[in-house]
Amino acid sequence: MSLDLKNSVVTGGGTGIGKAIAQELLAMGHRVVLTGRRPDVLEKAAREIGADWVAFDAAEPDEITAALPNLPERIDVLVHSAGGNPDLGAQPARTLTEIKESWTANFTANVLTTVLVTEALRDRLADNGRLIGIGSIAARRGASGYGAAKAAIETWTSQMAGELGERGITVNTIAPGLIEETEFFGPGLPTERRAVLIAETANKRAGRPEDVAALAGFLASERAGHLTGQIFPLNGGASR
């Protein structure tokens, strides 16, 4: 094992965008730990791509704390792909109680996962390390609680870049548009909605997890050391 082998942790790394980013980091020679809530999904993905895995709920302080002994002592790259839109496939929230539940669920899934795991691992981040958040095109489109939660990731990016910059740690967020071949849309995006989203792009196609992984790989690289505190839209020109 090389002495300068880099350690990466990818939350939400068992599926979709996180798994593709994990593959990119593995191709860069990193040791990669996938995290998520479902051990069976993580075990299968880790075996397939050659990573390690640790199961915990990234929004639950006690579960994160319990997982710490199984996570690397020094972390060079931390990617926050855990998240999603709990409203998809659910009945629209109408009562105040339902609206509270929806916004809380979106905040928990996207913001708490990112903030809590970062704080738990802050002291393990290596100098010149990399933090990568996953936002969304929805952050700037008024997409209810989900869009607001992803907007919070943007301001978290700014805050953390300022806090960690003197150590050479960069903090950036990739904000994807439609990315297929993930579990994000559950059983699938309705055909008409898919057509609308693809028509919005300049290149007339949906994004793929590898599109996000390619940018994440660059942001994780040594060459990207002067890029920090930024949001990188990745949407085929759907938002220009």
Active site residues: 146
| Interacting residue with ligand NAP among 183, 193, 203, 221 (CB under 6 A) | 183
Which residues touch 199 (CB under 8 Å, ≥6 apart)?
none
- State the residue for tokens 């949407």: 235
Name the 3-class secondary structure at 183.
Answer: coil
Is the separation of the CB atoms in 213 and 176 below 8 Å?
no
Residue window 143-182: x/- pattern of binding to ligand NAP, with contact defined by CB under 6 A: ---------------------------------x-xx--x
Q: Contact region for ligand NAP (CB under 6 A) — 16-24, 25-33, 99-107, 225-233?
A: 16-24
Closest distance to ligand NAP from the beta carbon of 156 (Å):
13
Own/partner pairs, 55-58, CB within 8 angstroms, 24+ separation? 58/11, 58/12, 58/82, 58/112, 58/113, 58/116, 58/117
Cα(158)–Cα(128) distance, integer angstroms: 17
- Reading the block at residue 173, the tokens are 């967020």
Q: Does 115 bind ligand NAP (CB under 6 A)?
A: no
| Interacting residue with ligand NAP among 22, 32, 82, 216 (CB under 6 A) | 82
Using CB positions, name the residue nearest to ligand NAP.
Answer: 16
Site residues for ligand NAP per CB under 6 A = 11-12, 14-18, 36-38, 41, 57-59, 81-84, 109-110, 113, 134, 136, 176, 178-179, 182-184
